[in-house]
Structure formats: structure tokens, C-alpha cells
């Protein structure tokens, strides 16, 4: 199983939220570009980058992300507020290996399909689950569509994979939601990345045993619960 460190950007800084709560961010670095370098040096092959300002529609950190993409010896998957074809095009042209769509994947299926067909294998679907529903708009809202119906809608698209985030576990380090992971694993043929609650090497082993091809690590790394080198050695 691949381990993917995460960098969430709010106001140009590297932060972590707990359960998507924007009112209480914890700042870990004023320079996300330096964090990319550190993760790459530690051996990361792929990094998950989220523009939190863009996700909730308040601003954009695209200039910072452009610098993160520039000349780095690591692949980036970029998420947050990607809701137009132009935004997808710009990120792909700017060097993002994968572009992650969340709200658009849920609420604008026609646009999402067009983006996947234009960039086959480069667009990923974000399945952000909150109270057993799909969270949208920077996790500030949920959609009425069932998770099963949503995932089945994606099955015939040329996706680069699906990212499952269990919002209720995100940033809590309370352990992964293996029940939801197992349920979603049965729903999709695509490579599945899991995020939410991971705090230990044992958690990573359990996520792998539940069928995820990759695990996204955030707060556990920043809080020193485990090192990226330890996680990558599994």
C-alpha cells in the first residue's frame, strides 16, 4: 500500500483542521513549498495537496500551489475548489499529475464526466463521507445522493482513482473508519485511497488489510505520532 503525505493550505500556510472545522486550524508551516521538499527528501513519491480556501470558495492558493509544482521531484495530486474545466486544465498544464474533484463530482456529473474524458487517468473523484452522506463545499454541506448511487455513477469513467475521506475521523487521530472503507471498497473497481483518523503503523496495516491501495497521512505526521520514513517502510 502506498503512503501519501498531505499538505493542506489555508491562507498560504500549511495547516491541519479537525473534522473540517475552519475556525480552529493548527498551523505547522508558513512555507508549503518547504514541506513538499521535506516529504520528497523523506522518500514520498506522491503528495496530496488541498487548497482549503478554494474548497470553501473564499479565496485561492493557486500561486502557492504553482510554486509547489515547480521543479519538484515528486508527483502531486491537487484538490480543493476544482469546479470548472478551466481549473482542471490549468492544474494539469501546471504540472499536477492528478487533479481531484469533490463537489463537482457530486453535484455536476456532466462537467465531471467531461473533465475525466478530456484528461483520462488524471482526474480523481473525492468521496468525502460525513454522517453517511457525501460532504461538499469544503465539507460545509452534505448532498442528498446516497454514497452507493454516487460511486456507481463514476464506475464507467476513466478515473485516476477514488479518494475516500471519512470526515468525522479527519484530524482526530482516533483510528480509521474501517467499516466505511470496507463498504466503499466493495462498491468500486478503482484504486482507492483512504484518509481519516490514521494515527499509527497498526492503523496503516488495518487500512491496507481493508483493501485500500493507498493511505493519506496528515496530522499523525505533523504531530510526530509516526514518521514518514516509518510509514513508507511498511
Specify the pLDDT at position 140.
79
Distance of CA 229 to the CA centre of its chain: 20
pLDDT over 70 percentage in the chain: 100
Give dist(CA 7, CA 14) in Å, integer.
6
pLDDT tens track for 81-106: 999 999 999 999 999 999 999 999 99
Query: Which of the two residues, 105 and 143, has the higher pLDDT score?
Result: 105
Specify the pLDDT at position 49.
98
Give dist(CA 60, CA 64) in Å, integer.
9
**Overall average pLDDT of the 127-132 stretch:** 91
* Contact status, residue 209 vs residue 3, Cβ threshold 8 Å: no
How high does pLDDT run on average in the chain?
96
Helix axes of 147-154 and 178-187: crossing angle, nearest 10 degrees? 40
Q: Which domains does the chain have, with CATH numbers?
A: 2-232 (3.20.20.70)
Specify the pLDDT at position 22.
94
Instruction: Spell out where 131-180 has E strands.
Output: 133-136, 141-143, 162-166
Would you please indicate which residues are annotated as catalytic (active-site) residues? 8, 128
Specify the pLDDT at position 71.
78
pLDDT tens track for 2-24: 999 999 999 999 999 999 999 99
Q: Report whether pLDDT(222) > 90.
A: yes
Q: How confident is the model at residue 139 (pLDDT cuts 50, 70, 90)?
A: confident
pLDDT over 90 percentage in the chain: 91
Q: What is the pTM of this model?
A: 0.96
pLDDT tens track for 113-127: 999 999 999 999 999
Give dist(CA 112, CA 222) in Å, integer.
33
Specify the pLDDT at position 181.
98
The DSSP H or E segment spanning 182 is helix 178-187
pLDDT tens track for 39-79: 999 999 999 999 999 999 999 999 999 999 997 889 999 99
Specify the pLDDT at position 63.
96
Q: How confident is the model at residue 141 (pLDDT cuts 50, 70, 90)?
A: confident
Amino acid at each position: 500500500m502506498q503512503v501519501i503525505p498531505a499538505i493542506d493550505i489555508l491562507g498560504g500556510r500549511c495547516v491541519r483542521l479537525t473534522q473540517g472545522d475552519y475556525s480552529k486550524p493548527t498551523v505547522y508551516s508558513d512555507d508549503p513549498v518547504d514541506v513538499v521538499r521535506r516529504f520528497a527528501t523523506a522518500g514520498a513519491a506522491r503528495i496530496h495537496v488541498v487548497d482549503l480556501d478554494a474548497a470553501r470558495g473564499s479565496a485561492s492558493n493557486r500561486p502557492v500551489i504553482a510554486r509547489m509544482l515547480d521543479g519538484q521531484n515528486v508527483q502531486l495530486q491537487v484538490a480543493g475548489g476544482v469546479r470548472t474545466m478551466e481549473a482542471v486544465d490549468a492544474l494539469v498544464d501546471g504540472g499536477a499529475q492528478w487533479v481531484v474533484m469533490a463537489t463537482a463530482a457530486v453535484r455536476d456529473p456532466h462537467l465531471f464526466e467531461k473533465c475525466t474524458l478530456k484528461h483520462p487517468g488524471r482526474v480523481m473523484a473525492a468521496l468525502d463521507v460525513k454522517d453517511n452522506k457525501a460532504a461538499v463545499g469544503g465539507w460545509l454541506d452534505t448532498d442528498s445522493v446516497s454514497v452507493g448511487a454516487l460511486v456507481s455513477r463514476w464506475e464507467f469513467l476513466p478515473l485516476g482513482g477514488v479518494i475516500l475521506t471519512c470526515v468525522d475521523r479527519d484530524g482526530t487521530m482516533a483510528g480509521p473508519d474501517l467499516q466505511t472503507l470496507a463498504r466503499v471498497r466493495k462498491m468500486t473497481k478503482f484504486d482507492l485511497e483512504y484518509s481519516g483518523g490514521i494515527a499509527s503503523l497498526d492503523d496503516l496495516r488495518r487500512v491496507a488489510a481493508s483493501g485500500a491501495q493507498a493511505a493519506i497521512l496528515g496530522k499523525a505526521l505533523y504531530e510526530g505520532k509516526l514518521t514518514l520514513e516509518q510509514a513508507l517502510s511498511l
